[in-house]
Amino acid sequence: MEKKTYAPIVPELTKNAITVLERRYLKRDKEGKVLEAPVQMFRRVADTIAAADKKFDEKEDTTALAEEFYRMMTQLEFLPNSPTLMNAGRELGQLSACFVLPVGDSMEEIFDAVKFTALIHKSGGGTGFSFSRLRPANDVVLTTTGISSGPISFMRVFDVATETIKQGGTRRGANMGILRVDHPDIMDFIMCKADKKQLNNFNISVGLTEAFMKAVEKDENYDLVNPRDNQISGTLNARKVFNRIVTQAWENGEPGIVFLDRLNRDNPTPHVGQIESTNPCGEQPLLPYESCNLGSINLGKMVQNGKINWKRLGRVVQLAVHFLDNVVEVNNYPLPKIHEMTMGNRKIGLGVMGWADMLIALGVPYNTEEAVELAHKVMGFINEQGHAASRALAKSRGAFPNFKGSLYEKKGEPPLRNATVTTIAPTGTISIIANASSGVEPLFAISYVRQVMDNDILLEVHPLFEAMAKEKGFYSPELMQRIAEHGTLHGITEIPEEIRNVFVTAHDITPEVHIRMQAAFQKFTDNAVSKTVNFAKSASIQDVTRVYELAYKLDCKGVTIYRDGSRDHQVLSVGKKEETEAGAAQGKPATKRERPKVLKGWTYQMQTGCGPLYVTVNEDENGLFELFTTMGKAGGCAASQSEAIGRMVSLAWRSGLQARQVIKQLQGISCHSPSGFGENKVLSCADAVAKAIQAHVAANGGKVQHVKRVFLKGACPDCGGIVEHEGGCMVCRLCGYSECA
């Protein structure tokens, strides 16, 4: 019988999508030259994943299935998680996005976990940990008669390992660190990222229990438990701890929260183990040593003629479940224990992207009751069809090995091939490839400006809005520019009201609506929902408190919030009211601050190899303004160079750069004549200036205010492009950069 051949489908990829694919996904040779086109990547993935069917029937011809997988991906209806696109059919063969590793309470177990983390990050995966098993700081260590340094000190070890590993490869490693709220070190954990100088390769979340939340409601004390011996070691007021979590999240977006008891309530295999942690973005609870394989359906592609194409959506769900189960089968797992645990439960996580696009295509505003009801209907359908597809696979291939004793068996449900089927993940770079809105988030921007490498300024407009604007006759480049500057359609009266209502952005939507939408999807999702609740910069701590309490009330499994402007590298700003920032967005230098007649200052004496160096730091009402240096002995090369450094630092601060950026550039520069030893060692005059600035910031509690130099709608550290906060992660919509892998 002649083998059937199929004509290739050329996907309609945007320039951004092609850029992302070329930089991060397509095969390259040793010199970095791209060896495959996007269609070849999709063919490579489709053929590799379809070939898994031969494991169950050696004689089966998988050509037709590979073609369906190929068409589904090239038509951008479904895409698997990034490692599958990168590695399927290649030597590495590691296809999972997320893993959870245990961290035991011994030096051997801790450093085994560090080693395993390195192997996973090297292979392109992200890792989640619970540090709740570690005894608290200053607790007894019987084997050495010493004292424990506690969970946070060991988190720093994992952080340094991640920082080292991520310097190479196509995908950055990321971590989730979770500590139970009843751990004795919980207050230190809540504050561990307050100075923003450490644990930058971690997202952190506090594991809240039902007992704790009930104590919060009653304003009662709760017990702290030492994991070394499970003995009560103290008490704290639950309301005060909750308020500290909320306040710190308001300050800089972390820690998030996860409701541990809810994760374990829905743990399908409690007889195998308890869930302690999640993957880096929080949507995938996993047992120790488990991995999960994710993929997302592009809901924007499921609308035809103003209606949802339920038939096609159902077929894509069936194909996607088949695809993801095959991924479990052909995956090259980084550790034997991970292979064993993953094959025992065969968890997959089918989610969605393009939710905002679907709503727009249907004419339904995101912030309406109709949208919430539609979320129930769409995700309910996907979950039902997904479980049906998993049951069908179980009939032909067998149930997941741990089915006996699972919650499904106890409820009398038919066997499933996969212990979990659905997950709402942040879609990050795959939504860029699909030219879709991220996950279940609202639109981030309608129109924005970006600067390309040759300094040309390009205006990017959401394709659905551009098409509608042209159809309705109100499109003009000038109007699109105004929208980019304004950041929202709100208040632009020449745009019809019904269109303004449909094209709402993340900051047009109240935090309560964000949570209600998350809860709607959570109701029909096996695992959890990754979503960022956006707050305006002016939001109060009480606003955040209300959202956390609402998330608990609506049965969410966790919450990640982001208040505009709450991080040092904050990149969101809109409107002509911030002319300095808008100018920066368009490639223009930020406006330099004028010097007032009177400034307050501090002078620090630093010992250098050339003699004492006096560093004076002056501030205006907005923060750091200028820096002067004076050598103990006048004249000479060192004095002139130090004066030049002071002038450049002053110019940088007056133009909006931050202390940490200046420190980073100066710190560690060495000369022929260093001074001092150990922590007091000064390598050069430039290094001395950096240390003086550090001392000044520390003396001010690390909270010296700085004038922002930000980019309209975001600034990626790789390309300067638009950046979104999604599921606790920063993602560039232009080049695919991701803070969290």
The residues that are catalytic are 279, 281, 283
DSSP for 12-49?
Answer: ---HHHHHHHHHHTS-B-TT--B---HHHHHHHHHHHH
Structure tokens at 607: 């010992």
Torsion of CA 117, 176, 435, 492, to 10 degrees: -150
Nearest to residue 424, comparing CAs of 500, 498, 527, 535? 527
Taking the C-alpha atoms of residue 201 and residue 186, their distance in angstroms, rounded to an integer, is 20
Q: Which CA distances in Å does 97 have to 127, 269, 657? A: 9, 21, 35
- Spatial contact of 88 and 331, defined as CB atoms under 8 Å apart: no
Report how far apart the first and last C-alpha atoms of the chain are (Å, whole number): 45
DSSP for 660-691?
Answer: HHHHHHHTT---S--B--GGG-B-SHHHHHHH
Helix (H, G, I), strand (E, B) or coil at 142: coil
- Residue 30 buriedness (CB in 10 A; 0-12 / 13-18 / 19+): exposed
- Spatial contact of 164 and 127, defined as CB atoms under 8 Å apart: no
DSSP for 70-103?
Answer: HHHHHTTSEEE-HHHHHHTTSSS----SEEEE--
Q: Which residues have CB under 8 Å from 470's CB, separation 6+?
A: none
- E strand or H helix that includes residue 303: strand 303-304
Single-letter residue type at 405? G
Instruction: State residue 168 phi and psi, 5-degree precision.
Output: -120, 170
- Spatial contact of 358 and 300, defined as CB atoms under 8 Å apart: yes
Q: Which residues have CB under 8 Å from 101's CB, separation 6+?
A: 113, 116, 117, 120, 127, 128, 129, 288, 289
Q: Which CA distances in Å does 287 have to 233, 262, 291, 327? A: 27, 14, 8, 19
Structure tokens at 544: 């955040």
Nearest to residue 386, comparing CAs of 302, 254, 296? 296
